[in-house]
């Protein structure tokens, strides 16, 4: 007999009673605070607003049950929404049934992929994306998101498919802008920027606890939405000033719509779904880890993927939109005092209640206000520190950031992220194929060998100590060979060369054969090649080879041993 | 005034008179010996036989002038011919004017690419192909070449485009096979196999010099061709027994046909041309190096590419076929005693003379004999040692060999090589993303630190020495982090962890940030993180970072220094 207990997630099996009230309160706070955001992200994805509400129910429950993070909240997220729109809008008219179908298919495909990666323990795939590439992608997407808000902020109808075409069309109709909408949107942005930069420090300096201040800051967007909607009601801004509002939200429970998924589109959507999956994985794991770090917990990357994947599959059931670990959503959850995923379950059920009640006031939230808050949220997504740090530390990483960001802006999100992955891998390969090789000598009468150019070292006449600072593989054979030959050619009095292998972690077959050739060549020049400090696993592998059996030089445990023998 | 001397290649400027007779003799020997081969490779490429002769003239002269290898001979080669056919036959009917046009365009494009790579000093691109991948590619191509000879050996017309379709069509018409052709082809193969395995040792055992024996073995294919052609003349095998012969060879000088190159096809041919260029580069450099090794000379990889590229451009001028460094051609050249590229110049001019005379007997060479000799040459191209060695040394390299060979057989040559490149890179990345991390301790009272599992070592209570045997980059962060956390979690009494960085050649920004997070996390657990033996270039880079400034542990010059301080 299977015990019911086994079906419960671990955190629930041993649920600490004292967390109950904190979790319930946090869950209710999250429900209300992320309400406007959920609507806004659905619109950003080109979907009807209620889709954002649906996507906050089932996926949140599933993730709470299966995921490994204690405080991450899953639901509609800015990047996944933007990515959904970016992938689908060239294929179908936003908002049409065909478009909804494709959104559900995209969620299902990417969810299934992420789930499969998790089950196959392929979480390491997420590490195909380096941090500068992720940051560059997010920065590029954030700028795209902001640019996409401009038509809503100005309340000018935008024609065209791509963001740039839309902006051009808006620019040509600037005379038709709606000042009431612009005023609302502008005010929203100013208030949010002020509150996000100044409110928390001000509250803290007045003696409010840090966590409470953080929560109050998170409350501002909701207050702005409430007040502006109140203004719409009181002054009839929508009727009198043509301020656009959300409009009809379909109430009641969504229909379960497996039928809406059209798998014949899957071929078209497979690559976008894969990229969405990769981005989702990388972002989710990174966020779960940074949240866990704050709370000293451990995250299981592969279980994270199983959770994220199943959430997206769940999202697709309600004909919904792809979901992800939301930055704001999780931050609100943490600030509201959530201790376990129970908070997310409460939030999901809370959203279900709202959907069932179907509060009609949501329909009169002005779009310009939502556009303003999305823009400000997008600004905060651009991680300027990362690119500055990358620039100082490593130009190649900075290049990967810029390349990915520009790729996203110019080519679109999916090609942009593909470009980023390519840039990251190329940089890595290029570096490995241009290895650092140092001529070293012994420091004083110690046993340490250091770079001759950096330290005053002792050398032996006719003996050259070279340290190869890279694994040897097919990609850097030519570089290593030409460096070795150059060293030998420039010193005709050499009779022994010692390669210090302390930093050579692997030698592939191509490199082994090249090494044998080099040894042969050296022998012809009257130079004996020795090896020192070979790594254990590498030595195991090399023992059986012809090279090892036939080489004339010796294998030394340490550079110092070689030094003493050749002295 | 530019001195004429500057325009001459270096070997010619200081040409040693005593080599003159050797080079002239070698050149003439090469001309005659590679004659049947040149015709056969043109047919293999789906081109008229005279194209193989043309491609042995100008390209050989250009390479002799520009290339860097002293003994490599460039001309029609098995792999380039097979690749040409494989790329072009789905696009046009072999032998048609359109097909010839595309062959010339392919030679021009791949030549221009190789030339550009050489001028831009991008010879390292050739190292995208590991040796197992190259060997696998050659093995797969060799099998394809052999399979393609079967219709000629049996003299059964083959329908269908792909090799497999052709074989199926041949199999269904086996009753129509021409026994005379099969006899000629089979005899050719048996004689060649016997001579290549037994003749040289036999001659040497009878006191013939090794080089002379090698040359005599190389002479056998020509003798077989001469005898079988003689048989055709005497017994009129072509008329009486329907044995297929080469047929009409257009005599005289080829027309210079820039006009035949249709650049509108270049988009279609660009990727194949790139792959052909890569294969040509990798094979050419590898062969030039192995020849140079035998003669203790140096090869300049980039000048090799300039030479190979210009040869192909030259090949395209005569409406010709792509050329490469030929294995047999170069072996014959070496065995015939060539000392400098003058031998190739003589061979090129010799071929020009043959083309001008246009010996009509060439037209009656039986195709089955050529097919037999191509098959035997293909068998010798399969490098069984390489795959056996790879299997013992490194299963992943063996997998790359098999994958590439199968890819070539099943998918075709261009997709096969692309698959090989992908497999090689994936293997490399996968290895780098699963780093070896060793717990180390000090050996006796030396200053050496070695793996605890392999050596009896001294440790300190509460202190863990870990050596990370891999550069840290975005791809292995997760693996490194989880290993470090696991080590710390399993020993709660730890208070200091020393990371020995002697094998960490680079840390990218993602890894640096992860390292900072780990340090932070360790600090929260009451564990201090130290670093030891950081590489000079890495330290330079890290000095300015926040991590370096704020970390609590110390940076030690050596693991031993850390050991003594923490003692």
Q: What is the ipTM of this complex?
A: 0.75
Asked if B502's CB is within 8 angstroms of A503's CB, the reply is yes
Percent of chain B with pLDDT over 70: 95
Nearest to A124 among B290, B433, B541 (CB): B433
Distance CA B404, CA A363 (A): 60
User: What is the residue-wise DSSP string for A385-400?
Assistant: HHHHHHHHH-HHHHHH
pLDDT of residue B3: 57
* A221 Cβ contact partners less than 8 Å away, ≥ 6 residues apart: A33, A36, A37, A192, A373
What is the distance in angstroms between the Cα of A287 and the nearest Cα belonging to chain B? Answer: 13
Q: What token pair was written down for B282?
A: 């990798």
Read out DSSP for B394-444? -HHHHHHHHHHHHHHHHH-HHHHHHHHHHHHHHHHHHHHTS-EEEEEEE-T
What's the CA gap between B81 and B89, in Å, rounded?
Answer: 12
Higher pLDDT, A11 or B308: B308
Rounded to whole angstroms, the maximal C-alpha distance in chain B is 96
Which residue ranges form the domains of chain B, and what is each CATH number?
19-427 (no CATH), 436-566 (3.30.750.24)
Token pair 């014949």: residue: A264
A208 vs B62, residue with greater confidence: B62
Question: What is the pLDDT at residue B167?
Answer: 87
CA geometry: angle at B187 spanning B186 and B191, to 5°?
A: 120
- What confidence score (pLDDT) does residue B303 get? 85
Q: Which of B:86-125 have CB within 8 Å of A?
A: 123-124
Judge whether B320 and B51 are in contact, CB under 8 Å. Answer: yes
Q: Are A41 and A81 in contact (CB under 8 A)?
A: yes
- pLDDT above 80 for B372: yes
Residue with tokens 């710390």, as numbered in its chain: B488
Q: Is A432 on the interface with B (CB under 8 A)?
A: yes
Q: Is the pLDDT of residue A495 over 90?
A: yes
Distance from CA of A537 to the nearest CA of B (A): 9
Q: Do residue A479 and residue B124 have CB atoms under 8 angstroms apart?
A: yes
How far is it, in rounded angstroms, from Cα A209 to Cα B462? 38
Q: Which two tokens stand for residue B441?
A: 């301790």
**Interface touch B535/A436, C-beta < 8 Å:** yes
| Token duo for residue B520 | 């932070």
Contacts of A423 in chain B (CB under 8 A): none
Q: Which residues of A touch B473 (CB under 8 A)?
A: 130, 428
Strand, coil or helix: what is B6? Answer: helix
**Mean pLDDT estimate for chain A:** 85
Spatial distance between the Cα atoms of B207 and B205, rounded to a whole number of angstroms: 5
Interface residue A397 vs chain B (CB under 8 A):
yes
Which of B285, B425, B509, B517 is most worth mutating to test chain A (most A CB atoms within 10 A of its CB)?
A: B509
Find the mean pLDDT for residues A460-470.
Answer: 92
Between B390, B428, B471, which is nearest A509 by CB?
B390
Q: How far apart are CA B389 and CA B400, in angstroms?
A: 13
For range B232-257, the mean pLDDT: 81
Q: Which structure tokens are listed for A543? A: 């023992």
Indicate the average pLDDT of chain B: 85
Which of B42, B373, B343 has its CA nearest to residue B185?
B373
Share of chain B above pLDDT 90, in %: 22
* 8 Å CB contact of A393 and B293: no
Q: What pLDDT sits at residue B261? A: 61
**Confidence class for position B230, pLDDT limits 50, 70, 90:** very high
| pLDDT value of position A405 | 92
Neighbour-count burial for A105-127, b at 16+ CB within 10 Å, e otherwise: bbbbbbbbbbbebbeeeebbbbb
Q: Tell me, what's the pLDDT at A228?
A: 92
CA angle B524, A134, A105 (to 5 degrees): 115
Residue of B397, B508, B557 to mutate when probing chain A, most A C-beta within 10 A: B508
Secondary structure E strands in B83-234:
none
Nearest residue to B280 via CA among B50, B96, B59? B59
The closest of A50, A560, A118 to A355, measured between CA atoms, is: A50
Using alpha carbons, list the distances in angstroms from residue A318 to A255, A258, A260, A337, B5.
6, 8, 9, 29, 80
Cα(A524)–Cα(A533) distance, integer angstroms: 25
Q: Is the pLDDT of residue B185 over 60?
A: yes
Contact A250, A257 (CB under 8 A): no
Question: What is the C-alpha to C-alpha distance for residues A549 and B424, in angstroms, rounded to an integer?
Answer: 27
Q: What is the 3-state secondary structure (H, E, C) of A233-293?
A: HHHCHHHHCCCCECCCCCCCCCCCCHHHCCHHHHHHHHHHHHHHHHHHHHHHHHHHHHHHH
Rounded to the nearest angstrom, the gap between the alpha carbon of residue A372 and the centroid of all alpha carbons in its chain is: 24
DSSP A59-99: HHHHHHHH-S-SS--EE--HHHHHHHHHHHTTTS-TTSHHH
B422-466 pLDDT per residue, tens: 888 888 888 888 889 999 999 887 888 888 888 888 889 999 999
What pLDDT band is residue B1 in, cutting at 50, 70 and 90? very low
Please count the other Cβ atoms lying within 10 Å of the Cβ belonging to residue B306.
21
Residue A492 buriedness (CB in 10 A; 0-12 / 13-18 / 19+) = exposed
Q: Do A544 and B392 touch (CB under 8 A)?
A: yes
pLDDT greater than 60 at residue A1: no
Chain B CB contacts of A485 below 8 Å: 298
* Cα separation, B154 vs B133, whole angstroms: 32
Adjacent-strand bridge partners of B513: none
Q: What is the pLDDT of residue A513?
A: 86
Question: Does residue A2 carry a pLDDT above 70?
Answer: no
Decide: A359 and A171 in contact? Cβ < 8 Å.
Answer: no
Q: What integer pLDDT is reported at residue A319 of this predicted model?
A: 65
The phi, psi pair for B494, rounded to 5°, reads -65, 140
Please say if the pLDDT value at position B486 is more than 60.
yes
Structural contact between residues B460 and B563, judged by C-beta atoms closer than 8 angstroms: yes
pLDDT tens digits for range A403-453: 999 999 988 888 888 888 888 888 888 888 888 999 999 988 788 888 888
Q: How far apart are CA A418 and CA A422, in angstroms?
A: 6
Q: Does the distance separating the beta carbons of B469 and A535 come in below 8 Å? A: yes
Beta strands in B213-271 (DSSP E): none
B386: chain A residues, CB-CB within 8 Å:
509
Q: Kindly report which listed range (A239-243, B263-267, B330-334, B400-404) carries the lowest average pLDDT score.
A: B263-267
Distance of CA B392 to the CA centre of its chain: 22
State whether the Cα torsion A15-A17-A19-A22 is positive or negative.
positive
Query: CB distance from A500 to chain B under 8 Å?
Result: no
Which range is least confidently modeled, A5-14, A318-327, B492-501? A5-14
Look up residue B206 and give its two tokens.
Answer: 């009878």
pLDDT per residue as tens digits for the range B9-61? 878 888 888 888 888 888 888 888 888 888 889 988 999 888 999 999 999 99
Q: Do A436 and B479 touch (CB under 8 A)?
A: no
């Amino acid at each position: 007999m299977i015990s019911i207990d086994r079906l419960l997630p671990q955190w629930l099996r041993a649920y600490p009673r004292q967390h109950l009230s904190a979790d319930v309160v946090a869950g209710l706070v999250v429900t209300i605070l992320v309400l406007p955001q959920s609507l806004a992200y659905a619109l950003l994805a080109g979907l009807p607003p209620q889709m954002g509400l649906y996507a906050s129910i089932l996926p949140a429950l599933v993730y709470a049950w299966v995921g490994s993070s204690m405080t991450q909240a899953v639901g509609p997220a800015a990047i996944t929404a933007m990515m959904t729109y970016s992938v689908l809008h060239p294929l179908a008219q936003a908002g049409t049934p065909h478009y909804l179908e494709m959104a559900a298919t995209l969620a299902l495909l990417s969810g299934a992929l992420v789930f499969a990666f998790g089950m196959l323990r392929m979480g390491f795939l997420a590490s195909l994306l380096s941090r500068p590439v992720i940051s560059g992608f997010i920065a590029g997407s954030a700028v795209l998101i902001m640019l996409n808000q401009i038509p809503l902020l100005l309340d000018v109808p935008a024609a065209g498919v791509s963001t740039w075409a839309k902006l051009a069309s808006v620019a040509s109709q600037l005379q038709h802008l709606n000042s009431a909408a612009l005023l609302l949107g502008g005010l929203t942005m100013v208030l949010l920027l002020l509150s996000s930069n100044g409110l928390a420090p001000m509250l803290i300096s007045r003696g409010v606890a840090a966590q409470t201040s953080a929560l109050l800051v998170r409350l501002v967007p909701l207050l702005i939405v409430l007040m502006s909607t109140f203004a719409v009601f009181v002054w009839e801004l929508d009727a009198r000033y043509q301020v656009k509002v959300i409009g009809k939200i379909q109430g009641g429970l969504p229909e379960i719509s497996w039928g809406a998924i059209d798998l014949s589109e899957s071929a078209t959507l497979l690559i976008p779904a894969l990229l969405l999956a990769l981005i989702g994985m990388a972002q989710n794991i990174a966020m779960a880890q940074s949240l866990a770090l704050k709370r000293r917990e451990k995250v299981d990357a592969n279980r994270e993927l199983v959770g994220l994947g199943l959430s997206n599959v769940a999202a697709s059931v309600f004909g919904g939109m792809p979901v992800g670990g939301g930055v704001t959503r999780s931050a609100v959850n943490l600030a509201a005092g959530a201790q376990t995923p129970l908070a997310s379950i409460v939030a999901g059920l809370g959203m279900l209640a709202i959907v069932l009640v179907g509060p009609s006031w949501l329909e009169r939230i002005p779009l310009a206000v939502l556009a303003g808050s999305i823009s400000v949220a997008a600004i905060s997504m651009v991680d300027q520190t990362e690119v500055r740090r990358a620039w100082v530390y490593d130009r190649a990483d900075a290049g990967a950031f810029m390349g990915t960001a520009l790729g996203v802006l110019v080519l679109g999100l999916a090609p942009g992220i593909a470009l980023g992955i390519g840039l990251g891998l190329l940089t890595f390969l290029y570096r490995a194929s241009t290895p650092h090789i140092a001529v070293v000598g012994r420091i004083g009468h110690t046993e340490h060998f250091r770079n001759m150019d950096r330290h005053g070292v002792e050398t032996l006449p006719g003996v050259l100590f070279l340290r190869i600072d890279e694994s040897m593989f097919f990609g850097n054979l030519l570089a290593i060979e030409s460096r070795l030959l150059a060293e030998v050619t420039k010193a005709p009095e050499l009779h022994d060369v010692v390669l210090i292998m302390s930093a050579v972690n692997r030698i592939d077959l191509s490199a082994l054969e090249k090494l044998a050739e080099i040894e042969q060549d050296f022998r012809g020049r009257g130079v004996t090649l020795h090896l020192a400090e070979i790594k254990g696993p590498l030595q195991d592998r090399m023992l059986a080879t012809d090279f090892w059996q036939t080489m004339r030089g010796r294998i030394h445990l340490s550079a110092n041993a070689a030094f003493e023998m050749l002295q």
